[in-house]
Each structure stands twice: as structure tokens, then as C-alpha cells.
Structure 1
Amino acid sequence: MPAGGAPSIARVVLDTPLPQLDRLLDYRISEGMEGVSPGVRVSAPLRSANRMTQGFVVELAEQQEHPGPLSDLDAVVSPVEVLRPEVWRLARAVADRAAGSAIDVLRLAIPKRQVRVEKSWLAARDAGRAEPAPLDLDAPDVTGYRGDDVDTVLASGRAALAVPPGVVAVGEEWVGRWAVTLAQLAARTVVSGRSAILIAPDHRDTRQLEVALAQLLPEERIVRFDTGQPDSDRYRAVLRAMGESPVVVLGNRSAVYAPAARLGLIALWDDGDPLLAEPLTPYVHARDAALIRQEQQDCALLFAGHTRTTEVQRLVELGWLAELAPERPRRVHVVPTAHATGTGADDHARIPSIAWREASTAAKTGPVLVQVARPGYAPGLRCAECGTSARCRRCAGPLRVQRSGAPPSCLWCGLEERSFRCLECGSSKLTRVGAGSARTAEELGRAFPGIRVVVADGERRVLEVDARPALVVATRGAEPIAAGGYRAVLLLDGERMVARESLRIAEDCLRWWSGAAALAADDATVFLVGVGGRLASALATGGVTAFARAELADRRALRFPPATRTATLDGVPDAVSAALAALPSGADVIAERTVDGRTRALIRFDYAHGAEVARVVRGEVIRQAATRRKPLPGRTHPGRAPLPLRARFDDPEPFDES
């Protein structure tokens, strides 16, 4: 045992998928074992000395909490205290809110150990080279905002931040004005002696933030941490963020869990982007994790965007978030236009004459952006005789044409269909529905001879274009930045985007169009084709706040998210029935269906009942997991049977198109 007076018990969270072990387990620290401290990675026996698993020491104690003999810790795997106290508190709170396991959150926060990286960092720390040089900088002003308002928010405030559209030059590169604003806020925070976390949906956005930050802070004060990095780079980023000196942690949704003891700011860009929704259990959106962390560490919190989600609008109306807008709000010139009167899918049939004339003129002086709904050549096909949608004969997925002259292929499984037969009428004739990015580029190339055409979509990653004349055809979210901004922007296929069946489709469309419009030059015109009504008015007048307010009012009337919370329970029928029977009175079952021996139920509850519903559901998940049987001999799939009950809180899938 340790020497007299030293703690003899280590409380460990184990890295195991078993929900019944989602708690701190007591282990005895054997005599002579060194390096056991909160945050280090250790190995410990699981049930018997022959089964070892890794975990993290959360705290030390002198007395055990539970009676009975204790097992000894096996070894200290790493002497580095990678699990920081603030990260553990956040992981525990996030997991409890979503009825999940804390270790699943920690897997997002702490990458796998990289021995070579760790040894290099330890050597630098021992030599006094792990910390960056002291800062000798003045706090930059936040361009376009009142200084008093900025200081109020940065003093542990919470706000919905409206940012002006447009692009600006940063050195030799061009970035969105929003990136400069967030970089200035982060730099002010670091200069004041506290760290900042900037979260953006994808690599395009983080690249802009990185460029803007590089003009304000030295390189050693900027830490990139996201899921797209190799494990070695992510582990190196965690070690750098653990230091005493304030830094800016920059990344995608996982950056919200980065270590930062003296955290001064969390800023989230475009929280409506689905890339910020965590696809791994416990499926917690970065926005919700940021809200929890702000409360725990009393830092500033900003939700920034060209539009406003209904989730942020709800927090504004509750008084939880203030509103921070530029001193002189500006907006782009948007012209809603009707369809052209031509027939077919050629260029003139899709682009109204007024937009066509503007694009023709603008394309002679600089780049013009054309946003389309889908990639590929023909994103949809149907039978030319009866009009039935063309489906794959193997998986029933929709057929499409990827490029000119290519045979139809399945969107789901990729099977090429060279001998199509309609299941309704037997015809072998196909007709195209819509035009994707490749077909639009082909048509515009014929219409504008001599002008280069650039295609930017999921298959062709283009981050930026120069100021030379060009037609840039891009799918939503893949628009490159143009030097000096686009001379005109055409938003096509609006009616196709709006037609998608989803609860969020209206705010998604407004977000897609606003993001593309924000890339226009200050004197450029944006044309929205084929869409009218409240959506077109919100984009044309800049009334995104009023639109979010109206959307939220509609959700409240229907008791749809985010006016209420929901959870999806999935599992064997008996397990789901038991969980539904145990729910508190504040939860309602609004849908239940059993298919192929699995039951899926959707429950709805108010925010006030969220903690109780999560506690009850988590208790049922643990109870069902603890009583499940091992697989029968002769099973084709070795290992334990899947969990009888799974839960996903705030699941958007039931409200999207199936």
C-alpha cells in the first residue's frame, strides 16, 4: 500500500461499452506503484485478473465507497494527465443529459495514445520548451461592433451574434467577414489571459478561421483539433491545449471537448449545419455541449451565423442569449425571380431573362456563382412512358446519371443499370429529372463560349477561385470563395430544395442561400430563382430573425422540436415496452412501430422533464443490458448479443424525409 497519509484508492472510469459499468470504480493502489494521479491513463482488471481494460483515473481517495475486497490497479499506461477535470465534468454532464455513457464522450475528447508524440512532448516539457513565448500584443478591435457590447459579451456573457455578409482580404487570401470577426474575438480573449474555442462545421470554415487567426496571433497560440486529423496530430493538439498558456482551439464538433482550464470564450459558427450533430453515441449536438460547458466554466458563449436556427431563437426569447449585431448592418441585394418560360432543362429554361442578362454582363468582369441543388449530371430519372420514378432493381434506390454519356447508376448501392425496365409499364425509356452540377456546367459552357467553367461539389473540392472571369457551378455548401467576391450569384433549383420533406427544410434553405449570397461582392446582385413567399422575403429583406421567430411559433403550436424535446427508443419489443412503462408522467409516446422483431418508439417531453426522462431511460438501458443473455452456441456472429435497448435523445431523423 502507499506510504502513510497517501491516498490508497483510485476511482477509475473504464473504457468499456458496457453501460452498467458507466460509473467510477474503486481500485486499490498497490505498494510501490508510482505515477497514479487524476487524469492519467491506467490499465485495470475487469471482473478477473485475466481480463484487462484501460481507463482514466478521475480522483483519488483514502477510503473505498463500496464494501468488499478491491482489485489492484494493473499499471499506469501513461504518466500524462490527459483527462483534465473540466473535460471529465463536461463528459459526465453531457452523457447524463442524453442518457449515455461518459466514456463515449471521452473517446471524442481524448484521442488514442501516441507514444512517439507523448515522449516528444514530455521531453519538451522537461526542458521548459512546452509552453509558448509570452504574448506582447494589444487586444485587437472587433471590426464593425460597439466596443462596450463586445466587452459585455466577453465578460462571461451569452449572445446570438449576427455577422455581416461579404468577403475580405487577409494578407494574400480571402475569407468571409464572419471568420475575421470570430478571430478578433478569440484574439481579444487570448490577450486577456484566457483560452478560446472556435467551432465550425467543416474544413472550409476552419481553413478561413485559421487564415484570419494567423494575422492576429503567433502560430504556437493556435491549436487545430478536429476529427479530420490523423491520430498523432489530434493527440499533439490535446497536449498543447493542456498547457498553462492561453491558446485558441480551432476545429469541428469535437473541439468543444478540448481541454482548457481557463476558458474565456466558446464560439460556434453556423449551428444549423448537420455536420455539428455528433453521429456517434450519445449523439449530442455541439451546440448543446457548448451550452453545458459555458455554465460549468462561466465563459462567454457565442452562436454566430448568417441566419438563426430555431434552437438559438428559443434561447433568445427565453432571455438566455442576448443579441449582438453590427453597428451598421448590411445585406446583399437579393432579387427573387420567377422561372423562365422556356421548356426543357436547357440554360434559358432554368434562368430567368433578368438573371441571365446580369450573369452575362458580370461574367465578363469576374467570377459568377451558380448554386444548384444536386451534384452529378442528372440527379433524377423516371420512366418516359408512365412517369414512375426509376429505381434500382437490386436495392430499390433512386437511379441517376453521374456524367454525360454514362449509364444510369444507383444512388444507394452504385449498381449500373444498363437494361432498365419500368416495373409499372415495362418501358425501357428514361427521361431526366432536373440537372446536377455537371450538366449545368455543360449547358453554361455552351451558352458562354470562351469563359471558363469551374465545378465545385462533393467530388471536386475547390476552396477558392481568383478574380478572373468564370462561371462557378457549385452545390449547396461547396461554394468556393472568390477573390473580391462574386460579381453575381444565381441561386437555382430553389423549388427542388424546398420540396424536400423535413421539419427543418425552410431554415435549411434560408441557411444555404444566405451562405452563398454572403460570398457576393458588396455591389453584386443575388438572384433567387423559383421561390417566393415568406422564404424569399426573408432572404431579400434580411429578415432572418423574424423568420426564425415565426418558425419557432409554428413549432410551438405543433409541439415540435425545439419547442419540446424528443427521444427515440429502439430495441426488442419487451425492452422498449418496459422503458415506456417506466417513463414519468411528463413524457408522451407519439409514435411506436415494430418491424422485423425490433420496436421503435418516439417520445416527447418538455425541457423541465428532460433530466428525469434521461435518468429513467438510462436506468432501463442499464437494467436491460445487465440481464441480457449471452449468444447461443452456434451463432454465426461471435461475441455478445446487441444491446436490447438503445436511446437517442433529440434525434432529428423522425422529422426528416424517409
Structure 2
Amino acid sequence: MPGGRVARVAIDSPLPQLDQLFDYAVPEALADQAVAGAAVRVPLRSGGRLARGWIVELADQSAYEGRLSEVEEVTTLVPVLAPEVWALARRVADRAAGSASDVLRLAIPPRYVRVEKSWAKEHPAGAERPAAPEATDAPGEPDALDRAVADRARIALQALPGVTTLDGGATVGRWATTLASAAARVLARGESTIIAVPDHRDLAQLEQALHAVAPADRITRVDAGQTGGARYRGFLDCLDGTPRVVIGNRSAVYAPAARLGLIALWDDGDPLHAEPLSPGVHARDAALVRQEQSGAALVFSAHARSTEVQRLVGIGWCRQVEPERIARPRIVVDEAGSDPGTARIPSAAWRAARDAAREGPVLLQVARPGYAAALACARCGAPATCAACGGGLEQRGPRTPPACRVCGTHANPFRCAECEGERLRMVTVGTERTAEELGRAFPGTRVIVSDGARPLTEVGPEPALVIATRGAEPVAAGGYRAVLLLDGERMLLREALRVSEDCVRWWADAAALAADDAPVHLVGVRGRIATALATWTLAAWAEEELTARRELRFPPAVRVATVTARGPVLERPIAELRALGEGVDVLGPVPVDDGLERVVVRMDYGRAQAVAASLRASMIRVATERRRPVQGQPVRRPPTLRVRFDDLEAFG
């Protein structure tokens, strides 16, 4: 039989005890279809159920001495699991104490039969692969980045701030043209590139920049914003062996790109790169593993470098590359807004906005969407809370009564629980209230709001005030004539390990949207963080932040994992973790929701593999424990043991 008579299958199951390869006999009727990489349905011994899976490899014989069950059905016309994707899934799952099938579910999009049949007809088995493009229009001579990519280095790239206008008239960030140029040169060598970006706004800029320097038929999108059929078609195109530039969100890191020459992540500190589904592998970690397996170049590019990438630079794992052309925004630190009783927009920033609004768009970044996200008693200043449930009050519009954020109960009339005051004042002003105030202050000037409910990707060059929440700032044609970064002190008050790092990233990304020499006013922020932004020494600031976390043994100076279960279930895993000795700290347990308890495991990077193996063994043991049924009581499900590596939730 071609390729062997035994299929080794990875079962698609969340059960940790099934995270291994199972041998199945290949019946004669399926001999031509059951190839390595094909998706299949196979029987499980429990109850005659059928399970989905993928053929990882074929062999002539099995080590199992009994009679093998047969593959029931081959469900794809083409092999959808590339060998390099399986190797990547297995490696990152083991690193996070997870199941490879959970990773494959992210890597292989749901099947669309009609799309697959059409693609298979266009790509018959054994057909000759298209030749690599002769050349692309990558502009200029190779720079330091291109030389480092050609050397297949791991690179931490300081992105150039600012925007640029493409030949077609579109305006994109300079970061997008930098990555597009590098991808075009890799494509000209007959190799593929994968570029992962956080969201659709970044993806739109990157796609426009790529179309300016690379053939359109070699640019392939694989992202969650597409329709299911379009995404599956893009995934199948990656399987045809043609060198191409693959772009998408975090799951694009798993795309089966042929002859991979470059992997790039834009803004790896953005939380959208963190995978919420099990086993929760960050796109940055998957990219690091894939680079090691493939030998491709790796680029982490951002305006504000993450502490994780700074750690890699510090240990020599990544090479720091600076742009050959020095550029930095013209940032003015205005501390006045941080003092109680001062105006939200200080006079200098107000004048800058007024003057710039005569020439073009002005960006104002604010902390919150909505009208008034937080209210307080006007007499004593105590937070305004709901009389029914104790939740915080908010005002959702200029003429709507204050209401509870939790239960929705209207607080009209309001009476303060502390001083019995009856008047309210706004503590946090959102996009809508800001738009209302500025609309009165700038009569005749168009006011545009962009937030999570009404996101915009771009605005024109006409005069306008653009009020946006952090991360929702649209790109302005030709760049903004002024940028005001408001509510800085409120953003920094959020209790989280990464709050300072996130704020620097939000402010840097917004400042990078300014036109050359346009003023950027940082309002209400002082100290080292303001100095770092004003001088654009963001890599040095990331190193200082990393040093502080190293002293406290906080991530990313160490790796962490959280383990959650009911108290008795945690006892043995905790004992086994503590037995691992030096370099492993077990903190807790502490109570969480629904009677569960959680421990936090801190470990040196060199001990992470042993911790992952110990926790994986505990998960399998807990999942397979048998409990004797008690007469008259319902059969109890096995207890759960949830493990998540690199989980920062426990740190706030």
C-alpha cells in the first residue's frame, strides 16, 4: 500500500489523556485518500463514538500487538496538516502543558467543502508548482534590517514613527512600509513571509503597503475578520508550495507557508496577540518556536518595545536593530493636567489644537468610551454607587439619568450613602462627553468619534477633531496636525502589572500617527515615563521596567503559570511542584470563584520544561481518576485541574 498501512492519528479532543498519536489500520478503500496530513474520522473504543483527527504520519506496521481499528472516513480532499505545523503545535503545546489538538484547531480553520473542491480542481495532485517571482519593486538599497533578515537573524526592530503616503494615495504607518519592503525582498528570493498584526486596522495598513511592493497574487490573508470561506481559501493557498506573503492576526503564525524566510510580529505587546483559548500560547512564543524550527529570520517590531522582547535582547537571543534614519515625534509634556483642579486640556495643548484644527485633523486620545463612565458625589467626592446592588454609577448620555453599570437600576434621584448629598459630578469623561464639550468650544469644526462601538480606520485631510479611545485611533491622510494625549493619570491608575507598559505603548502608537513636526501633547503625566516618551528612549525605559520586575521575580523576568482546582485536588500537584526544588516558587493557594482555589507558580526559564511536564502529568492523572459510585447519588464528573502558562491575571 502506498505510504504504509498504518495511520498514526492525532485525535481532536480536549481530554489530556488522548493527547498522543493513535495507530489505525488504513482500509484498502481509503488507501489513496489516507495520506499524511489528511483530516479523518476514527472510532474511539468508548461507546463506539467517532472522533475527528489528522493523520500525522504513515507506517508499515504498528507497535501495538492487538487488532487495530480502521480509519472510518477521510474528510478532506487535500492534506491540511503540514508536517512543520504539526511539529510546531506539538512543541508549543508541550511548552504550555497543553494538548496539540487545541493548537491545531487554531491553526487549521473550519472546512468549507465547496471551497475545498474548487481549490482541489485548480491544484491537481502532482501538478507543477508555480515558479517564484523574478523580482519585486522593493524600493531602494538593502538597509540594516534587510541585511539582518538575509542573515536569518532574530531582530528587535525600533519602528520609525510617522506616516507615509503611498502612490495610490493611501496613508499608512511607516512601520507597515518597513515590514512590507522586507517581505518583498524575501519574496524576491523565492521564500515566504508570515506577518502577524493585532487587529484589522493594522492589517488594512499592512495590506495596502504590501500591494505597493509585491504582486497581489502572492499576498494571502488568513485572519478572523474574513468570511469562513475566504479564510479557508487563504489557508489552502498556503499549502500549494508557492512562496507568498501571509498576513493575518495571531493565528497566522501557524500558517503552512512554503520555504519560510521571515516571520514578523507587529506590536507584540498588544494583548490581542495573546491567545485566550487553551493552551493560551502567545503569538510571540509560537513565533519564537517556529523560527527555531524553520531557521527563518524573525522580526519583532514596535514603537514601544515590550519587556518580553527586551529580555530577549538582554540575553542576546535577539539583535537590536535601529532605523538608519533617525525620526522621533515632537512630544511636549504638559504636567498641568495632573494637578487637582486644573483644566483637563491645559492652555498650551488647547492652543495647539486650535491652531492645528485650522489646517487639518487633530487627534485627542481619551481613556474611556461613552459619556461619563464614573460618577461621584459632588459634596464629599465619594464614588457614586447603586442603592440596589452597590455597583458603580455611570451616565450614558447627556439627557439620560445616572444608572448602575452592574444591574442597570436608575439612580434618579441620587442620595450619597456617605453624606446624603444629592448632586453628582463626572469623574471620568468619555468620548461622547468630550465630543460634546469640544463641539461647543470649536464651532464649525467637524467632530469625529472613534471607539470600540464605532471604530474608524481612516479619516481625511480636512480639518476635524478626532476623539478616540486608546487603540481605536484612525489613520489621518497625511498625518494628524496635532495629537493630544489626555487622561494619562487616569490610565496609569489601573491596577495591573503591565499598566505602565500598556500606557507607553498606547501613547507611542498614537504619537506615531502625527505628521512630521506636528506637536504631540502628553497631558497629566510626569516622571520617568513622561521623560522616556518625550525623548523617545523607549527601549531604555523597557529595560528599566524589566529590571524592576527582575528584582521582584515578576514576569517576564521569570515564567509563571496558574493552577486552579478545588482544594483537595491541588494538594498533590503542589507537593510535586515544590519537590522540583530551586528555581520554582509556589505561591498560594488563594480562593477564587465557585469554591475553586488557585496557586501561582513562578519558575526560572530553565525550569519551565520540568514544571510543564509535572503539571501535564497531574492533569492526566486527575482526568483519569476513577471514583466509586455511591448508591443513590448521581455519578460525579472527574474534578478539573486548569493550568495556564504565562497568565498575568493573578498579578492584576
Measure, in 2, the Cα distance between the counterparts of 1:362 and 1:554. Answer: 39
SS at match of 2:285: helix
Instruction: Determine if contact 1:437/1:455 at 8 Å carries over to the other structure.
Output: yes
| C-alpha deviation, 1:531, in angstroms | 0.6
Measure, in 1, the Cα distance between the counterparts of 2:387 and 2:272. Answer: 32
Between 427-436 and 112-121, report the one with greater CA deviation.
427-436
Instruction: Determine if contact 1:392/1:415 at 8 Å carries over to the other structure.
Output: yes
1:620-631 equivalence runs, <5 A: 620-627=618-625
Could you tell me which residue of structure 2 aligns to residue 203 of structure 1? 200
Could you tell me which residue of structure 2 aligns to residue 115 of structure 1? 113
| C-alpha deviation, 1:225, in angstroms | 0.7
| C-alpha deviation, 1:105, in angstroms | 0.3
1:279-298 equivalence runs, <5 A: 279-298=276-295
SS at match of 1:58: strand
Could you tell me which residue of structure 2 aligns to residue 174 of structure 1? 171
Measure, in 1, the Cα distance between the counterparts of 2:611 and 2:244. Answer: 38
Instruction: Determine if contact 2:624/2:638 at 8 Å carries over to the other structure.
Output: no
Could you tell me which residue of structure 2 aligns to residue 646 of structure 1? 642
Measure, in 2, the Cα distance between the counterparts of 1:611 and 1:486. Answer: 48
Could you tell me which residue of structure 1 aligns to residue 24 of structure 2? 27
Question: Quick one: which amino acid aligns to residue 259 of structure 2?
Answer: R
Could you tell me which residue of structure 2 aligns to residue 362 of structure 1? 356
Task: State which of 33, 55, 72 in structure 2 corresponds to 1:74.
Answer: 72
Instruction: Determine if contact 2:238/2:258 at 8 Å carries over to the other structure.
Output: no
Measure, in 2, the Cα distance between the counterparts of 1:343 and 1:317. Answer: 40
Could you tell me which residue of structure 2 aligns to residue 374 of structure 1? 368
Measure, in 1, the Cα distance between the counterparts of 2:219 and 2:631. Answer: 54
SS at match of 1:486: coil
| C-alpha deviation, 1:325, in angstroms | 1.1
Instruction: Determine if contact 1:630/1:641 at 8 Å carries over to the other structure.
Output: no
Could you tell me which residue of structure 2 aligns to residue 600 of structure 1? 598
1:63 aligned onto 2:61: yes
1:613 aligned onto 2:585: no
Task: State which of 156, 159, 162 in structure 2 corresponds to 1:163.
Answer: 159
Question: Quick one: which amino acid aligns to residue 160 of structure 2?
Answer: P
Task: State which of 451, 454, 461 in structure 1 corresponds to 2:445.
Answer: 451
**CA distance 1:634–1:441, change in 2 (3 Å):** farther
Measure, in 1, the Cα distance between the counterparts of 2:250 and 2:300. Answer: 13
Instruction: Determine if contact 2:84/2:256 at 8 Å carries over to the other structure.
Output: yes
Q: Which runs of 5+ in 2 are unaligned?
A: none
1:276 aligned onto 2:270: no
Q: How many residues align?
A: 646
| C-alpha deviation, 1:149, in angstroms | 4.8
Instruction: Determine if contact 2:569/2:639 at 8 Å carries over to the other structure.
Output: no
**CA distance 1:462–1:138, change in 2 (3 Å):** closer
Between 58-67 and 600-609, report the one with greater CA deviation.
58-67
| C-alpha deviation, 1:423, in angstroms | 4.7
Could you tell me which residue of structure 2 aligns to residue 582 of structure 1? 576
**CA distance 1:429–1:632, change in 2 (3 Å):** farther
Aligned-residue Cα RMSD (Å) equals 2.4
| C-alpha deviation, 1:628, in angstroms | 5.5
Instruction: Determine if contact 1:86/1:261 at 8 Å carries over to the other structure.
Output: no
Measure, in 2, the Cα distance between the counterparts of 1:40 and 1:60. Answer: 11
| C-alpha deviation, 1:238, in angstroms | 0.9
Could you tell me which residue of structure 2 aligns to residue 546 of structure 1? 540
Measure, in 2, the Cα distance between the counterparts of 1:222 and 1:601. Answer: 45
Instruction: Determine if contact 1:382/1:433 at 8 Å carries over to the other structure.
Output: yes
SS at match of 2:268: coil
Between 549-558 and 421-430, report the one with greater CA deviation.
421-430
**CA distance 1:6–1:528, change in 2 (3 Å):** closer
Instruction: Determine if contact 1:373/1:436 at 8 Å carries over to the other structure.
Output: yes
Measure, in 1, the Cα distance between the counterparts of 2:337 and 2:47. Answer: 75
Question: Quick one: which amino acid aligns to residue 13 of structure 1?
Answer: A
Instruction: Determine if contact 1:121/1:130 at 8 Å carries over to the other structure.
Output: no
Measure, in 1, the Cα distance between the counterparts of 2:630 and 2:392. Answer: 39
Measure, in 2, the Cα distance between the counterparts of 1:121 and 1:375. Answer: 44
Question: Quick one: which amino acid aligns to residue 171 of structure 2?
Answer: W
Measure, in 2, the Cα distance between the counterparts of 1:539 and 1:162. Answer: 14
Between 120-129 and 297-306, report the one with greater CA deviation.
120-129
Instruction: Determine if contact 2:132/2:190 at 8 Å carries over to the other structure.
Output: no
**CA distance 1:148–1:208, change in 2 (3 Å):** closer
1:252 aligned onto 2:252: no
Instruction: Determine if contact 2:110/2:232 at 8 Å carries over to the other structure.
Output: yes
Question: Quick one: which amino acid aligns to residue 44 of structure 1?
Answer: V
Measure, in 1, the Cα distance between the counterparts of 2:104 and 2:339. Answer: 57
Q: Which runs of 5+ in 1 are unaligned?
A: none
Q: TM-score, normalised by structure 2?
A: 0.94
Q: TM-score, normalised by structure 1?
A: 0.93
| C-alpha deviation, 1:412, in angstroms | 4.8
**CA distance 1:129–1:360, change in 2 (3 Å):** farther
Measure, in 1, the Cα distance between the counterparts of 2:603 and 2:97. Answer: 14
Could you tell me which residue of structure 2 aligns to residue 38 of structure 1? 36
Instruction: Determine if contact 1:98/1:649 at 8 Å carries over to the other structure.
Output: yes
Measure, in 1, the Cα distance between the counterparts of 2:110 and 2:71. Answer: 20
**CA distance 1:150–1:444, change in 2 (3 Å):** same
Instruction: Determine if contact 2:193/2:261 at 8 Å carries over to the other structure.
Output: yes
| C-alpha deviation, 1:420, in angstroms | 4.8
Could you tell me which residue of structure 1 aligns to residue 99 of structure 2? 101
1:223 aligned onto 2:220: yes
Q: What are the Cα deviations for residues 64-92 of structure 1, in whole angstroms up to 9, with x where unaligned?
A: 13343321111111131000001000000
| C-alpha deviation, 1:394, in angstroms | 6.3
Measure, in 2, the Cα distance between the counterparts of 1:414 and 1:132. Answer: 60
**CA distance 1:428–1:166, change in 2 (3 Å):** same
Measure, in 1, the Cα distance between the counterparts of 2:140 and 2:586. Answer: 48
SS at match of 1:350: coil
